[in-house]
Chain A
Amino acid sequence: MNSWIPLMLRHGYVLTFAILLAEAVGLPFPASIALVAAGAAIASHALGFPQVLLAAIYALLIGDSIQFWLGRKMGWSLLGFLCRLSLNPETCMLRSAESFYKRGKMTLIIAKFVPGVNTMAAPLAGSMKMRFHQFLLLDFAGSLLYTLTYLCVGFLSRDVLATVFNSFRVAGRAMEAVLLVAVIVYAVYRLVQFRKYRQYNVVPRIQVQELAARLASDQSHTVLIADVRSHGYYDVGAERIKGSIRIEPNNLDEETKSLAKNKEIYLYCT
């Protein structure tokens, strides 16, 4: 934090704009710390409040709008990609979408204060076809609240920043420890999963040409091609292999009831 203040004094407006824009497009930049430093610089009369506010709001609106249109263009595939890290991608997609649908407007206002949600809110709004002017209005409210909050913190705590910084360092160390434990737990979980399902690596594989030849032969009646992509990956206009059926991987008990055991089942995903 101490090193941020001299930087802010020298390149304040450009730095505020650049860091906030970077964070708004999803890069891991410390926007809140930059705003606190800018608030301290305003208190020292080194920067002007209206200029900092304008730079911050413009940066956030531009970055979030880019994310919004990216979400609009990519549809559900962006959410699908983000949910791949979760334990159950299908549930993650459905719950995220439903939750955002119910609380989307409020979420957009407070999203910037919550890491992770901040990254997902704008593209989700785009994916879910929120009207752009509505998004812009809500995002403006959220950006204003976020910017003013951290500027105020910096402005009011200029004299105690060193103390706060020390607290941040202690909190930061605790956070690092928690994060490290979380990463280890996740790695162990993945390892257990890997060992559990390693036996399925022996599932026979078939090349596309080989399968196409089989479909063209008199053995085609024994072939069943099954799409095992998650439902959530589908957008209107999505394609699949001609003649294939869907098997929902998270609902195998039900799905297998209608499957014939005398058929060869050829599975595919994206």
Chain B
Amino acid sequence: MLMERGFNTFVIVGGLTAWRKAGEPLESVPKDDLVKLPTFN
């Protein structure tokens, strides 16, 4: 769908798992990006 909109798009083979396995740098997901699903507590 991004390609349809004219973006030059690639897919990372293996995704986050492969990135982690390769020892490449990671960061914590920023709090603003977390969706606050409801909890009882």
The interface on chain B, measured as residues whose beta carbon lies within 8 A of the other chain's beta carbons, has a size of 35
Q: Could you tell me the distance between the alpha carbons of A265 and B10 in the complex, rounded to whole angstroms?
A: 6
- Extra pairs beyond A101-B38, A128-B37, A227-B16 (20, CB < 8 Å): A94-B35, A98-B37, A125-B40, A128-B38, A128-B39, A200-B1, A200-B3, A203-B10, A203-B11, A204-B11, A205-B10, A208-B14, A229-B16, A237-B28, A239-B27, A241-B24, A241-B26, A242-B26, A267-B2, A270-B16
- Give 21 CB contacts A-B under 8 Å: A98-B37, A129-B40, A134-B40, A204-B9, A205-B12, A208-B18, A208-B21, A208-B24, A211-B12, A212-B22, A227-B16, A238-B28, A239-B26, A239-B29, A241-B25, A242-B24, A243-B27, A256-B7, A265-B7, A267-B9, A268-B16
In the assembled complex, how far is the CB of residue B3 from the closest CB belonging to chain A, in whole angstroms? Answer: 6
Report the separation of the CA atoms of residues A220 and B8 in the bound assembly, to the nearest whole angstrom.
15
- Shortest CB–CB separation between residue A123 and chain B, in angstroms? 14
> When the two chains form their complex, are residues A231 and B35 in contact, meaning their CB atoms are under 8 A apart?
yes
Contact pick for B11, options A130, A205, A241, CB 8 Å: A205
Q: Is the CB of A93 within 8 A of B29?
A: no
CA distance A211 to B18 in the complex (A): 12
Query: What CA separation (Å) do A266 and B22 show in the bound complex?
Result: 17
Question: B22 contacts A265, CB within 8 Å?
Answer: no
Whole-angstrom distance between the alpha carbons of A131 and B40 in the complex? Answer: 8
- Residues on B lying within 8 angstroms of A by beta carbon are 1-3, 5-22, 24-29, 33-35, 37-41
Q: Which 7 A-B pairs have the closest CB atoms?
A: A101-B38, A242-B25, A129-B41, A268-B12, A231-B35, A130-B40, A239-B26
Assess the B13–A206 pair: CB atoms within 8 A: yes
Query: Chain A residues in contact with chain B, CB under 8 A?
Result: 76, 93-94, 97-98, 101, 104, 125, 128-131, 134, 200, 203-209, 211-212, 225, 227, 229, 231-232, 234, 236-243, 246, 252, 256, 259, 261, 263-270
Instruction: Establish whether residues A265 and B9, one from each chain, have CB atoms under 8 Å apart when the complex forms.
Output: yes
The 8 Å CB contact of B2, one of A101, A205, A252, A269, is A252
State A240–B6 Cα separation when bound (angstroms): 25
CB closest residue in chain A, given B2: A265
A128–B19 alpha-carbon span in the complex (Å): 30
B15 touches A268 (CB 8 A): yes
